[in-house]
């Protein structure tokens, strides 16, 4: 394999470059999956071009290649995450928040893999509706929430679920007061699970009758869809809620861990050979897979093009109501800092991209051409 990227002993890109062809021989990939693998394989290589850093004082020279900026790439999310966090300061309150997780039942995973845009979209919509309705009924208020879709476990198993960061209270429906929830309890999770089950079943029935799931193998049998609905109607839909954050200043940093997390980071890769990939799972756990199986699991989590994996509802989506809530809570509207990419990188890594690492002198950046264009069939 080619040498690993700086900062990590092993790199997902190396696994992609060596084993992608074998994966495609065994499995038909979607256009989105092919594009993600192409971008990850090309990220920070001469294929994407870049610039030569040259110091006029000491003669230091080093090429720096462009990032792919693909949202599934483990090397491209740290700076994007910090930029997103800074932008969200004006969207969120400084009070307490709950972390609630809504999990899609395992019986629906095959359908989600077949029609991800439809199933994920329905899940987002119904979770948002549920939270708003519970807030109106139980708090007599409009809550705020930010929803983030994840589709994986730490072993890269397909496991769609939505993380929701929810305000511990809301703006009263008459907009005159702030109605707080308990700091130890938001809404009953069993009740949320039952309501989500009913909403999802109704939404899936609508999508089925509109032909959204046409071609799904399990529905070739005319009774297939009805059988699936009967099965999931009997299940307990899992909703998990963590206690609220004591200090609102930690909320954004906590949320940022979820918004830009990818299925696996390079830091979790423990050993990579031509025969196996070993990576860290949860705690001290590890998983070892053949490289092609590792890539097969990874591409399961590629999202449809232009599908937004972050959604805002309630106060987080309505600036006028949010401003009223701030006034009632005695908060000021935080200023969104205006920083250049250079300033972001300096804050994140401590590295000044315009300063020579050898002598501290000013670097000159000389553009480098692309080594070649990406293959057309990767689009």
Q: What is the pLDDT of residues 15-25, one digit of tens each?
A: 999 999 999 99
- Residues 33 and 140 grouped into a single domain: no
Residues 139 and 170 grouped into a single domain: yes
Assigned domain for 289 exists: no
The number of folded domains in the chain is 2
Q: Are 244 and 97 in contact (CB under 8 A)?
A: yes
Looking at the fold, whether 224 and 370 belong to one and the same domain comes out as: no
Task: List the structure tokens of 90.
Answer: 């004006």
- Could you tell me if 35 and 106 lie in one domain? no
pLDDT at position 93 is 85
What is the domain range of residue 318? 90-263+301-329
At 5 the pLDDT is 43
Rounded Cα distance, 95 and 250, in Å: 10
Distance from C-alpha of 52 to C-alpha of 313, rounded to nearest angstrom: 45
Closest CA to 95 of 247, 244, 242: 247
User: Is position 222 within any domain?
Assistant: yes
Structure confidence by residue, pLDDT tens digits, 256-278 = 777 778 899 999 999 999 999 99
Residue 149 lies in a domain: yes
Per the domain annotation, does 135 fall within a domain? Answer: yes
- Read off the pLDDT of residues 182-223 as tens digits, 9 standing for 90 and up: 888 899 999 999 999 999 999 999 999 999 999 999 999 999
Residue pair 142/314 in contact (Cβ under 8 Å)? The answer is yes
Instruction: Find the largest Cα–Cα distance for the chain.
Output: 76
322 and 362 together in one domain: no
Q: Which helix (H) or strand (E) holds 298?
A: helix 291-299
Confirm whether 279 is domain-assigned. no
Q: How far apart are CA 272 and CA 261, in angstroms?
A: 21
Whether residue 280 lies inside any domain: the answer is: no
Quick one: 198 and 121 in the same domain?
yes
Q: Is 342 among the domain residues?
A: no
Q: Report the alpha-carbon distance of residue 57 to residue 39 in Å, rounded.
A: 36
DSSP string, 164-179: EEEESEEEETTSSSEE
Residue 365 lies in a domain: yes
Tokens of 136: 């109106």
234 and 156 within one domain: yes
Q: In degrees, to the nearest 5, what angle opens at C-alpha 185 toward C-alphas 183 and 188? A: 160
Q: What is the pLDDT of residues 125-152, one digit of tens each?
A: 999 999 999 999 999 999 999 999 999 9
CA–CA gap between residue 306 and residue 327 (Å, rounded): 35
pTM above threshold 0.85: yes
Q: How confident is the model at residue 343 (pLDDT cuts 50, 70, 90)?
A: low
Judge if 66 and 104 occupy the same domain.
Answer: no
Angle 293-295-301 from CA coordinates, rounded to 5°: 115
Residues 108 and 213 in one domain: yes
- What is the pLDDT, as a whole number, of residue 373? 53
**Bigger pLDDT: 52 or 340?**
52
Residues 66 and 141 in one domain: no
Residue 379: pLDDT band (50, 70, 90) is very low
């Amino acid at each position: 394999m080619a040498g690993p990227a700086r900062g990590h002993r092993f790199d997902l890109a190396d696994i992609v470059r060596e084993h992608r062809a074998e994966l495609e021989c065994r499995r038909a990939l979607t256009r989105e999956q092919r594009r993600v693998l192409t971008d990850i394989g090309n990220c920070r290589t001469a294929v994407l071009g870049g610039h030569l850093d040259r110091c006029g004082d000491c003669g230091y020279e080093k090429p720096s290649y462009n990032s792919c900026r693909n949202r599934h790439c483990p090397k491209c999310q740290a700076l994007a995450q910090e930029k997103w966090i800074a932008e969200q300061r004006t969207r969120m309150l400084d009070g307490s928040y709950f972390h609630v997780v809504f999990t899609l039942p395992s019986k629906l995973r095959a359908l989600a893999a077949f029609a991800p845009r439809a199933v994920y979209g329905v899940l987002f919509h119904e979770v948002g509706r549920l939270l708003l309705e519970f807030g109106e009924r139980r708090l007599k208020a409009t809550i705020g929430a930010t929803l983030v879709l994840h589709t994986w476990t730490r072993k890269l198993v397909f496991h769609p679920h939505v993380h929701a960061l929810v305000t511990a209270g809301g703006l009263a429906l008459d907009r005159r007061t702030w109605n707080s929830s308990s700091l130890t309890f938001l809404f009953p999770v069993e009740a949320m699970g039952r309501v989500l089950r009913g909403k999802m079943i109704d939404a899936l029935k609508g999508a089925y009758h509109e032909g959204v799931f046409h071609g799904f193998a399990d529905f070739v049998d005319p009774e297939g869809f009805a059988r699936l609905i009967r099965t999931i109607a009997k299940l307990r839909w899992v909703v998990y809620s963590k206690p609220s954050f004591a200090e609102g200043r930690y909320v954004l940093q906590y949320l940022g861990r979820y918004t830009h997390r990818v299925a696996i980071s390079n830091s979790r890769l423990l050993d990579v050979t031509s025969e196996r990939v070993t990576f860290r799972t949860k705690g001290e756990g590890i998983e070892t897979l053949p490289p092609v199986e590792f890539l097969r699991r990874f591409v399961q989590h590629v999202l449809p093009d232009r599908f937004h994996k972050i959604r805002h509802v309630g106060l987080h989506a309505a600036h006028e109501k949010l401003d009223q809530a701030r006034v009632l809570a005695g908060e000021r509207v935080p200023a969104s800092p205006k920083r250049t990419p250079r300033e972001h990188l300096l804050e994140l890594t401590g590295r000044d991209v315009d300063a020579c690492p050898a002598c501290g002198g000013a670097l000159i950046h000389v553009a480098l051409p692309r080594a070649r264009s990406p293959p057309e069939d990767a689009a």
